Amino acid sequence: MKRGIRLTSILLVFICLSLALLTAWQVWFSRERALHELNVANLNLVQALDNYTEGVIRQSELVLIELSDRLQNGLAMQQPERLRALLQKQRAVLGLANAIIIYDPVGNRLLSSPRPPEQSPNAADRAFFLHHRADPSTDTYIGPTIKSRITGDWVFTVSRRLNDSDGHFAGVVAVTLDVEHFLSFFGSLDLGEHGSMSLSTGDAKLLFRQPFREQDVGMDWSDSPVLQLLRNHHEATSEQTSRIDGVKRVYALRRNDRLPLITIVALSREDALAPWRHDAQLFTGLILLLLIAVGGIGQSLIVDIRRRSRTERQLLLAQEELLDANSRLEVLASQDSLTGLANRRSFDQTLEVEIRRAQRRGSSLSLLLFDIDLFKRYNDRYGHVAGDDCLRTVAALLKQCVRRPGDLAARYGGEELAVILPNTTGEGAEAVALGFMQALEQRHLAHEASPFARVTVSAGVANLTPDQQDSSVLALALIEAADQALYRAKSKGRNRMESTEVDSEHRR
């Protein structure tokens, strides 16, 4: 019958584990597939945004090249009204341009579209102006995001250096692109509640981010781990926690091949996996119902088999009792060579056997721990040979005080002795401990290095009524409780006894 129960149980476990593993694999696979599809979609989107941004910058660059050619040939400034009309026309063609401006060598506005106010601010302190004044190259430069001093709008510049006929710095022609237009375009794309998109310069200075916050403008994220992914590749994906708002997102990054720009699309990991999580919960719920049905049917089969094998189980229990008794006899045969008491191995085995016995019977179990006070001083004073004699004498007294056949006195370690008292309450254990301490006092073994002038012991008593926890866990809890009680006895002056009950706190 037992073999039938085992085979039925194995079959049930195999079926349940197979279903559980298949479910876990399916859930994991669908999650990885969802993340893969998300990364592919993100890369497509970031490429589209990168192309859009490049197109806007390239249009601005063409305008700047035409204007710089006119200005450097000396044709444009001779007809300022025609040039202003050209600026206005170019600005209308660009659409996203906030303004097209021509600056002289000291940063004053010469012309702009739209027409500037009477007191137009000087731009000599702006980053793009400082760059062109210091760099002789006429390459297009993409400047950081700034707030317009005229309109108050957030803009970033695309600019070129102007040189005179001798090649000296003659000013700057710049297109300011309105960040709001980019935000409107980026914001029209649905990235979920916590998604974000951003555009940065090639050296990882943030131009703008959607959703927009003024404090994020110009943020340097060059030390971010995601930037390392773009060192050798022009695009990459990664999962990171945003340093801006602390949201964990799935990132797609793309470095433009021709412009110093980095475009980033980031979707919240939670938002992105929401559909997968819904499907996974539904699928897992169905499998769970199936497992419950299989378990119920299997349990019915096992109960039926167990009903017919009850007699066999009772026989096995009796056999276990006999094995426990034989094991205890074997433990009692293992003695410490110095004291004649049971050794530590016998103590550990016997304690677990008695705990299991107490669990079956629902009885209590007590443990005594004794420590010979100031035994090191005894050895230092009288020598180790005398110390061994003293230990044998104390052990013999302990053995006389432990009279019941089921009790076990053992040498726990060094000068520590232990007694296991099955089916004994805390009061009974205290009585045994006090009896031994009184017998030792009457023996009056001299100990001149002790404040008591004789050999004494400190005692820790612990009592346990075991529940159905693992026997090794209960054994450790009982030993720990007795050891703590012994420590209290020693800390309160020695030659005394402290006791405790092993509660749920000790069993953790």
Checking if the pLDDT of 22 tops 80, the result is yes
Question: Do you know the residue count of the chain?
Answer: 508
What letters, b where the CB count within 10 A reaches 16 and e where it falls short, cover 206-222?
bbbbbebeeebbbbebe
pLDDT given at position 223: 81
Select the more confidently predicted residue: 289 or 191. Answer: 289
Give the residue range(s) of CATH 3.30.450.20 domains in the chain. Answer: 1-308
Q: Locate 295 and state its tokens.
A: 């378990």
Tell if the pTM clears 0.75, that is, is over it.
no
**Residue 378 pLDDT:** 92
Residue 219: closest CA among 235, 194, 239, 199: 199
Q: What is the pLDDT of residues 141-180, one digit of tens each?
A: 988 988 887 778 888 888 888 888 788 888 898 888 888 8
What is the separation of C-alpha 342 from the centre of its chain, rounded to a whole number of angstroms?
47
E strands of 131-226, at which residues?
141-147, 154-163, 169-178, 196-201, 206-210
Report pLDDT for 76.
Answer: 47
List CB contacts of 449: < 8 A, sequence separation 6 or more.
374, 377, 378, 380, 381
Residue 437 confidence (pLDDT) above 90: yes
**Residue 245 scores a pLDDT above 90:** no
Give the pLDDT score at 388.
92
Nearest to 464 by CA among 357, 340, 378: 357
Q: What is the CATH number of domain 1-308?
A: 3.30.450.20
What pLDDT, in 10s, does the model give residues 248-291? 888 888 888 888 888 888 887 777 777 777 787 888 888 888 88
pLDDT digits (tens, 9 = 90+) for 43-101: 888 888 888 888 888 887 887 887 777 776 654 454 455 555 555 555 555 556 667 78
- Please tell me the distance from the alpha carbon of residue 497 to that of residue 437, in angstroms, as a whole number: 9
Cβ within 8 Å of residue 351, ≥6 positions away:
367, 420, 475, 478, 479
Percent of the chain exceeding pLDDT 90 equals: 22
Residue-wise pLDDT for 341-362, tens only, equals: 989 988 999 999 999 998 888 8
Which residue spans of the chain are classified as CATH 3.30.70.270? Answer: 311-501
CATH topology for the 311-501 domain: Alpha-Beta Plaits (3.30.70)
More confident residue, 301 or 18: 18
The rounded distance, in Å, linking the Cα atoms of 456 and 452 is 8
